[in-house]
Structure 1
Amino acid sequence: MTKAKKPEFRPDEFVVYPAHGVGKIVSIEEQEIAGLKLELFVISFEKDKMTLRVPTNKAIDIGMRQLSSPEVVSKALDTLKGKARVKRAMWSRRAQEYEQKINSGDLMAIAEVVRDLHRADDQREQSYSERQLYEAALERLTREVAAVSGDDEAGAQRKVGDVLTSRAA
């Protein structure tokens, strides 16, 4: 029986951590915790001024992954062009689903949230919680688009914004 090949994460590489989005592996260090030697990925989330230490043997289990391929990014951008799908469920239930999608780290799911919560200027006002979820999803999406395309964040925001406005036209 062959063991599934686990992705190798290296220092200076961008990765996606489900609950926090795109971060950069700064180093791999060994620490002794409760008498056990642990190998840890040290991941920096520059924008959030946060550093995370993830045991190397748990990285895959918790859903840490490499950046999406350019094909997945363009599929995600195509998703934005689709028509918003809003279920008729109560907002609290929908908000929970949106949050799960955002924290899944799955770029396609995040793109769906952006698509579903995007408002054109002539549409009704968003509630505070809708806007919070929309902005969180949009930020995750643009950060990964920027990291994959090698663009800066402003360029990625323009790219995503252009797709969203073209949809409204």
Structure 2
Amino acid sequence: MQFQVGDSVFHPVHGVGHIVSVAEKRFVENQARLYYHITVGKGTLWVPVDAQETIGLRAIISKRDLERYRHVLKSRPVALNEKHSRYRLELAERLKRGEFLALCEIVRDLNALAGRKPLGAADQASLRKAREGLDQEWAAAGGVSIAEATREIEALLINSRASVGRG
């Protein structure tokens, strides 16, 4: 997918950003490459156009798609893999890809687990990372503030707080 100047995008590590230009740059290697210049929060990213899929750069979801994800957040949580190391790897891989559905599911499932017992440091970090991305993109897609998006997501999660184990 080619992005245009002005498009809103999601980067799996940095969250929601905006394409401000597409420019040819020469960084480390001798050959110039085409890059997206993206503003993210208070920073700037340069993402190679030909590596956007590898990096996980994608368009943010549309406002009309939010209804589908409301159902995901309200749905029954899925039990995490019994093998701690296995589910931790699964979470890390899903966070790395940064797909919106994965963010919704991670937040829903870890939130439910946290309602049953305290999360360990790694699970807290995964939940925090997924929640930051979810809140940012929900706000951008819905045209609302991050605070408003956070409140709506919290309200949706109330329906899915049934206890869930790892097995």
- TM-score interval (norm. to shorter): 0.7 to 0.9
Q: Deviations over 1:64-122 (max 9, x none)?
A: 21111234322222111121212342222211111211221211111111111004886
Letter in 1 for 2:61: S
Secondary structure, counterpart of 1:30 in structure 2: strand
From 142, 146, 155, the equivalent of 1:153 is 146
Residue 117 (structure 1) aligns with: 110
From 9, 26, 30, the equivalent of 1:15 is 9
Residue 40 (structure 2) aligns with: 45
Letter in 1 for 2:36: F
Contact 1:18 1:63 in 2 (8 A): yes
From 73, 79, 82, the equivalent of 2:72 is 79
Contact 1:30 1:40 in 2 (8 A): yes
* Structure 1: runs of 5+ lacking an equivalent: 1-6
Runs of 4+ in 1 over 4 A off after TM superposition: none
Q: State the TM-score, normalized to the length of structure 2.
A: 0.84
Question: C-alpha distance in 2, partners of 1:116/1:143?
Answer: 19
Aligned-residue CA RMSD (Å) = 2.2
- Could you tell me how far 1:58 is from its partner in structure 2? 2.4
Secondary structure, counterpart of 1:41 in structure 2: strand
Q: Deviations over 1:112-154 (max 9, x none)?
A: 1111100488632222221111111111111110011111110
Per the alignment, do residues 32 and 168 of structure 1 end up closer, same or farther by CA in structure 2, a change over 3 Å counting? closer
Per the alignment, do residues 72 and 100 of structure 1 end up closer, same or farther by CA in structure 2, a change over 3 Å counting? farther
Per the alignment, do residues 151 and 63 of structure 1 end up closer, same or farther by CA in structure 2, a change over 3 Å counting? same
* Structure 2: runs of 5+ lacking an equivalent: 163-167
- Could you tell me how far 1:16 is from its partner in structure 2? 1.3
- Aligned-residue identity in percent: 28
Contact 1:20 1:103 in 2 (8 A): no
Work out whether 1:27 is the aligned partner of 2:14.
Answer: no
Question: C-alpha distance in 1, partners of 2:49/2:131?
Answer: 29
* Bigger proportion of residues as helix: 2
Work out whether 1:96 is the aligned partner of 2:89.
Answer: yes
Residue 3 (structure 1) aligns with: none
Work out whether 1:162 is the aligned partner of 2:155.
Answer: yes
Secondary structure, counterpart of 2:140 in structure 1: helix
